[in-house]
Amino acid sequence: MNLDQALRSLTSQGLERLDAQMLLLLALGRPPHDRAWLSARGDQPLPPEAVPALATLVSRRRAGEPMAYLRGEQEFFGLSLQVDARVLVPRADTETLVGWALDLAPDLPSQARVADLGTGSGAIALALRSRQPGWHITATDASADALAVARMNAQRLGLPLRFAAGRWLEAVAGEVFDLLVSNPPYIAEGDPHLPALTHEPTSALTAGADGLDDIRTLAEQAFGALAPGGWLLLEHGHDQAAAVQALLARAGFERVDSRKDIAGIDRCTGGRRPAGR
């Protein structure tokens, strides 16, 4: 069997062509995005030693495991992050949150104190650090496993962060920040989409009956952890913007607003602690 035949066999099994190409490249020990190499060598035989590796990868993918876990990496805001089952796969929607935070830079101190709460793979904190090297960024998480992944990414990318273990602002109790950002769990328990996410850590996905338990906690805690004029930015579900706006307004935030993701969906909501309070 040559490589073209192997690829046709995979697609005939119901795999999307892009997935099939990536899996074949991974089994061959090639970069998973090197599709041009694969196309140019379609008549070459599939090495016997690649056959069991390919079968294992196909089985994992057909079981619903994210392609990012099979690759061991995911691109986010121009950075290549190592990921595995200890952390959520960073998604393009979250780049909306990073972009909003960077847009606030002119209104923040040049050495702003920033915390990424529930950092996971470190995606948000590292993206901000790559664009704002003067910011003092703390990445927190209640999961020791997640912090290990984030530390690994920071070291590999040469983007130093400060890390703190703990649940939300308990990890940095008593400290004051100019900007707080978070992509917390926001899926309701029992949501019909959850079965498709079984390979990712449930604790990073669900937050109570309406998906807002952790956002409520952050809205309540963040005001007192921000300097006057400081900002809180939160990612949330596609239908939660109005509820999150109400939570922030009730907590005392001003200039409460939401931002849309690349699909035109309100994906992030934020607010500012009044300068005089």
List the chain domain ranges. Answer: 3-63, 77-272
Model pLDDT for residues 12-50, shown as the tens digit of each residue: 988 889 999 999 999 998 888 888 888 888 888 999 899
Q: Give the largest Cα separation in the chain, rounded.
A: 72
- For residue range 86-113, list pLDDT tens digits in order: 998 999 999 999 999 999 999 999 999 9
For the domain spanning 77-272, the CATH number is 3.40.50.150
Exposure on the CB side of residue 97, measured as CA atoms within 13 A: 31
pTM: 0.89
What are the tens digits of pLDDT across the range 244-270? 999 999 999 999 999 999 999 999 999
- Which helix (H) or strand (E) covers residue 60, if one does? helix 50-62
Exposure letters 117-139 (e unless 16+ CB within 10 A, then b): bbbbbbbbbbbbbeebeebbbbb
Identify the CA nearest to 97 among candidates 224, 215, 276, 267. Answer: 267
